[in-house]
Structure 1
Amino acid sequence: MEKGFFFTGFPGFICNQLIREVLKRNKFNSTVYVLVLPNMVEKAKQESAAIISEFGLEPSSFNIIIGDITKPLLAITPEKQEILQRNLTHVFHLAAIYDLAVPRDIAQKINVNGTENVNEWVKDLTNLERYIYFSTAYVVGNREGTLYETELIEPNGFKNHYEETKYHAEVLVDKLKTEVPVTIIRPGIVKGHSHTGETIKFDGPYFIMNFLDRLKFLPLIPRLGKGEAYVNLVPIDYIIQATTYLSQLDKAAGKTYHLTDPNPYRASEIYEIMMQEMLNKQPKGMIPLSLGKLFLSFKPMRKYLGVEKEALDYFTWKGHFDCTQAVTDLKDSGITCPDFKDGIKPMAAFYLNQKDNPSFQINIL
């Protein structure tokens, strides 16, 4: 049977890379449908043309559907709805606001209300084999200690509105498991490709690179706090390979997976590894994290350093993601999470090559 793959979040980087991986495994018996906001159609056309050319596809096998997850029935026309209802076998819901500093109302509208609309929509797909939802490992909020894939426990607080709304969205998807074959993906903090370093924007771990690059003129660069917390970084290639495999693995239906590094590094180690690779230096002295947060309370300082204040919360959070279920179910695929150290050279090289390109730097508010 021909597969019909539907994606929200196109033409975003994770989504377009995931589509490429899905096509590698299903090129000859699949049709791709992507949901695209009206103001993103031109960019989507460019990205779809690149994918069609790269894989030698028939243009009819890659379809741009104009819509909006924040609207009922995703604002898809009745004619398109009929086609999708009949042809879709796999739905990948990636569309979300991935921003630690996102205002609550925007995060609620897109991450929670949007996901609720997608949930209702997938219920009517007659040939659905799998609904794959992209959550985040950080739905755990302020909970610490060992955190399991089989848990979905509301914490007593969240570090930001992104975490909070992704938690509430996942609760909605988790409830669907009794009605729809659902697989929930919880990535760690996503970084660029482990071999090429390619990414689409410099956030997350790249805030550290921004910090180091802006202060490289100093004779001595201090570390930020003690850095004892583990920071779970995972390359995009691991995320897309694992997700593609699990999306078509029968026993993955009804499960939630931590796509996290089973052997993460401490914040202080990541800081030192990055500084050594970028500047050939080691940190000297220490700025207390409380002082760092104070500096970043001032917008001019945040913008100059290229760091969101909210990012520092992950330097002190002491949680450990158990990913036994993911490692076990990926065992036969040969897909494993690369070691962070093994990918630092391409990561730093890509950053240094593109750091002055404004399209890669996010708008620090």
Structure 2
Amino acid sequence: MDYNYFFTGFPGFICNQLIREVLKRNERKGIIYVLVLQGMMDKARKERHAIITELGLKDDSFILIEGDITQPSLMIFEDNLVILNKRVTHVFHLAAIYDLAVPRDIALRINVNGTNNVNEWVRGLTRLKRYVYFSTAYVVGKREGNLLETELIRPASFKNHYEETKYEAEVLVENLKEEVPITIIRPGIVKGHSQTGETIKFDGPYFMMNFLERLKYLPLLPKLGKGEAYVNLVPIDYIIAATVYLSFLENGVGKTYHLTDPRPYRASEIYTFLMEELLNKKPIGTLPISVGKWFLSIKPMRKYLGVEKEALDYFTWMGHFDCTQAVHDLEGSGIKCPDFKDGIKSMTAFYLKQKDNPNYQIPIL
């Protein structure tokens, strides 16, 4: 089968890893088309060269296309639109703004309006075999309890604008399922590679590491709140392998998958694991979450600690992601979510190596 692939979100880390896995799975056959913002072209050229060299690809098998998902027809030149319409069989839409502290207008423009533009463009593709949309498990907002892959229910409220706009975008994609062969991927909180620890930014669980690193000289470090909530962390290698497998699984058409840890740890356990590995200490006492939020409401304090105040909302949120459908459809593939504890050493080693590298730290506003 002659497959050709179109990706948004390049040269982002998840996107470039996904491209590598797609090509490896399909014996390096087919043409890769990636949509790139004008201001990201230099970085995109370097990443393209790295992938071509690594996989031994022909130069004309990886095409950069300048465009913008926030514009009609993705701001792609007409000649390129004609070529893509004739060739593209698989679309992977990853482009989004993932920052928990993102302002609502920016999140709406990129996550919702951008996805609507991609949907409209996808509708016109004549050879489309699969449209894969990257959502997030946290479209559930502040809903709690057992949360199913088969549900898409608007919650009473959201923890931040990121969650809200990803929910709105997923609704748009969900409504397209009757017209287009779609697979929706809902990852948990993505962390670095389970074996190498490699990541490209220190957010999510790395906020805990920033906090511990900045305060390591204190005589004692307390826990943040009771920490009874489960925090669903999944390594990038699991996300990539599972996404590619399910994207080409015939039975995956029309389905939504939670790529989450079926056996997550509580926030207090993760905090303790990281403190022991990072500082060789154990937490003593408890700092109420309300006090932690107050400290992080002070801009100089949160910038010093390297922690977004929105991150603390996940320490108290009592939801559990049911991933039965994903686990079932991955049976026989050999793809399973690694235990978080097994990746702590590599995760910590990578963090310590890069903690002073500003390219890895999230700008704290």
With the shorter chain as reference, the TM-score category is over 0.9
- Report matched runs for 1:230-249 at 5 Å: 230-249=230-249
Counterpart for residue 91 of structure 2: 91
Q: CA deviation at 1:29?
A: 2.1
| Aligned residue type for 1:274 | L
Counterpart for residue 304 of structure 2: 304
| Aligned residue type for 2:226 | K
- Report matched runs for 1:1-365 at 5 Å: 1-365=1-365
SS state at 1:190 partner: strand
Cα deviation code 1:148-192 (max 9, x no counterpart): 000000000000000000000000000000000000000000000
Whole-angstrom CA distance in 1 between matches of 2:308 and 2:315: 13
Cα deviation code 1:251-280 (max 9, x no counterpart): 100000000000000000000000000011
Q: Which runs of 4+ in 1 moved over 2 A?
A: none
| Aligned residue type for 1:313 | D
TM-score, with normalisation over the residues of structure 1? Answer: 1.00
CA contact (8 A) 2:272 2:282 kept: yes
Whole-angstrom CA distance in 2 between matches of 1:97 and 1:75: 19
SS state at 2:146 partner: strand
| Aligned residue type for 1:220 | L
Whole-angstrom CA distance in 2 between matches of 1:20 and 1:248: 15
Cα deviation code 1:207-264 (max 9, x no counterpart): 0000000000111111100000000000000000000000100010000000000000
CA contact (8 A) 2:23 2:29 kept: no
- Structure 1 unmatched ranges of 5 or more: none
Whole-angstrom CA distance in 1 between matches of 2:142 and 2:134: 20
| Aligned residue type for 1:153 | I
SS state at 2:201 partner: coil
| Greater Cα offset, 24-33 or 280-289 | 24-33
TM-score, with normalisation over the residues of structure 2? Answer: 1.00
Whole-angstrom CA distance in 1 between matches of 2:22 and 2:28: 11
Alpha carbon RMSD of aligned pairs, Å?
A: 0.5
Q: CA deviation at 1:71?
A: 0.2
Q: CA deviation at 1:30?
A: 1.3
Identity in percent: 74
- Structure 2 unmatched ranges of 5 or more: none
Q: CA deviation at 1:334?
A: 1.0
SS state at 1:17 partner: helix
Whole-angstrom CA distance in 1 between matches of 2:118 and 2:258: 22
CA contact (8 A) 2:28 2:55 kept: no
Q: CA deviation at 1:27?
A: 3.2
Whole-angstrom CA distance in 1 between matches of 2:51 and 2:23: 9
Whole-angstrom CA distance in 2 between matches of 1:59 and 1:303: 43
CA contact (8 A) 2:36 2:64 kept: yes
